[in-house]
Amino acid sequence: MSAMIQIEHLTYVYNPGMPDATTALDDVSFEIEEGQFVGIIGSTGSGKSTLITHFNGLHRPTSGRVLVDGTDLWEKPEKIRDFRFKVGLVFQYPEYQLFEETCYKDIAYGPKNMGLDPQEIDRRVRQAAGFVGLSPQLLERNPFELSGGQKRRVAIAGVLAMEPKVLVLDEPAAGLDPEGRDTILGAVKAYHKATGITVVLVSHSMEDIARYADKVLVMDQRKLALYDDVDKVFAQAPRLLELGLSVPQITKIFLRLKELGLDIDTDVYTMPYAVNTLREALEKRKGEAKC
């Protein structure tokens, strides 16, 4: 597999040279391979959001390089728009960016900017709407009449319709009820499976990352703290707690069980695995008790 996004010694400073200059990213380097589902976590102000706006060139690195699909984003600054279509970015609370009279027109905004012909735009809009579970009747409605969750799905469809090679989502489930949360993240996962594109998901929820992502990138104090497969990162629960992050609740339970003296593995972060591990541990214990 080849690297889809390569970040090399990326440093970003807001207002450089001013009295209020602040470093938002400090020498960050990593690679995301094609087709992977990567989760990004980190406490507020750790630089997550600034990091992802570098993926499609909304921010220009103060130093370091950003490569997408092997090309340096800033080699030809006038071509930066091409990367905006290649890396689709869904911001936090994307429903606030809706502006058209109908959902259809709003979803079509991105593809239209790409200069596609009307038939292709129509195909993309309907397909994207299908992926996020919007019915064809909804497409003709005014987006401002819809519920919060529906609005958000329209906004996400607006980015999907550009058919990017990388989909980046910043807290797509923030402020939604558990059902809305599952619908949206489920749609993203299904889209990932169906198209095989690279997905980057920024989230505060360890449960969501554990459930959907293959790899986790942990940001701490504007630096890259950890970047590895999900199980390897969650195996370092004490370190995560040190970084001010929580581990999935299920992992917390297992850490506590171990503390209480049960001989059990603590690298548990999803429910099915937890059930198995617990059963094994209990059987082992039963066996010991018999002796």
Partner 1 sequence: MLKDITIGQHFPGNSLVHLMDPRLKIIITICYIVVLFMAANPLGIALSILLLLSLYLVAKIPLKMIGKSLKPILPIILFTCVLNLFFVVGEGEPLFQFWIFTVYAKGVQYAVLMAVRVLALIAGTSLLTYTTSPIILTDAIERLLAPFAKLHLPVHELAMMMSIALRFIPTLIEETDKIMNAQKARGAMLDNGSLKQRVMALVPVLIPLFISAFRRADELAMAMECRCYHGGEGRTRLKVLRMTRRDLVCGLVSLAVLGVILSTRFFVPGLQ
Q: Which residues bind partner 1 (CB under 8 A)?
A: 15, 18-19, 53, 56, 58, 78, 81, 84-85, 88-89, 91, 94, 96-99, 109-110, 113-114, 144, 158-159, 162
Nearer to partner 1, 91 or 191 (CB): 91
Q: Which is nearer to partner 1, 84 or 165 (CB)?
A: 84
Handedness of CA 32, 50, 209, 192 (dihedral sign): negative
Q: Which is nearer to partner 1, 96 or 140 (CB)?
A: 96
| Beta-strand pair 37-41/198-202 | parallel
Tell the smallest beta-carbon distance from residue 138 to partner 1 (Å): 19
The span from the CA of 57 to the CA of 177, in Å, is: 32
CB of 203 to partner 1, least distance (A): 19
DSSP state of 75: S
Q: Are strands 166-170 and 198-202 parallel, antiparallel or unpaired?
A: parallel
Q: Alpha-carbon distance 28 to 6, whole Å?
A: 10
CB of 58 to partner 1, least distance (A): 5
Query: For residue 211, which of 234, 243, 194 has the smallest C-alpha distance?
Result: 234
CB of 128 to partner 1, least distance (A): 12
Provide, rounded to whole angstroms, the least separation between the CB of residue 171 and partner 1.
13
Nearer to partner 1, 144 or 280 (CB): 144
Q: Of 86 and 215, which CB lies nearer to partner 1 in the complex structure?
A: 86
Give the end-to-end CA distance of the chain in Å, rounded to a whole number: 51
- Cα–Cα distance, 216 to 209 (Å, whole number): 7
